[in-house]
Amino acid sequence: MSNLAANTKSNVFYKARCAAVKCNDSLSSRESAADIMSIDRGETVPD
């Protein structure tokens, strides 16, 4: 994981997801974590 930006490594949400993946492999990506938690991934819909 050496290609992460410094601000990503210090992000509290990134740290929480890294800790959670130890218990649930489905949380290994932001996409799958968003699906599991039923939250919007921030995608925009064209007009």
- Whole-number Cα distances in Å, 16 to 8, 13, 19, 44: 12, 5, 5, 25
Query: So what's the pLDDT on residue 28?
Result: 82
Average pLDDT, the chain: 79
Give pLDDT tens digits for 16-38.
888 988 998 888 888 888 888 88
Domain ranges within the chain, ordered by starting residue? 6-37
Give the distance, in angstroms, between the CA of residue 37 and the centroid of all CA atoms in the same chain: 11
Dist. CA 27–CA 46, nearest whole Å: 28
| 3 compared with 35, residue with greater pLDDT | 35
